Amino acid sequence: MEHPYRKYESSPRWPVIRKLIEDLEANNDLILQTPMEYIVGYLCKGLEQENGTR
């Protein structure tokens, strides 16, 4: 699936964040209305920006 966060897919954070979201979804603690790639990518981008400002 094409998405604007493709460059973050190689981040070591990507699989960790994806797994955590999948766990929340499996436990019925979270219902996704947005494609997973957009959510994971957005979080990876935000973490990268936050780490860059410190």
Tokens 């990518």 sit on residue: 41
pLDDT tens per residue across span 1-53: 799 999 999 999 999 999 999 999 999 999 999 999 999 999 999 999 998 86
CA–CA distances in Å: residue 11 to residues 19, 27, 28, 29, 40: 14, 25, 27, 25, 11
Q: What pLDDT shows up at residue 51?
A: 85
Angle between helices 36-52 and 13-26 (to 10 degrees): 130
Q: Whose CA is closest to 42, among 20, 17, 24, 22?
A: 17
Q: What pLDDT shows up at residue 12?
A: 96
DSSP classification of residue 6: G
Residue 54 has pLDDT above 90, yes or no: no
**This model's pTM is above 0.85:** yes
Q: What pLDDT shows up at residue 53?
A: 64
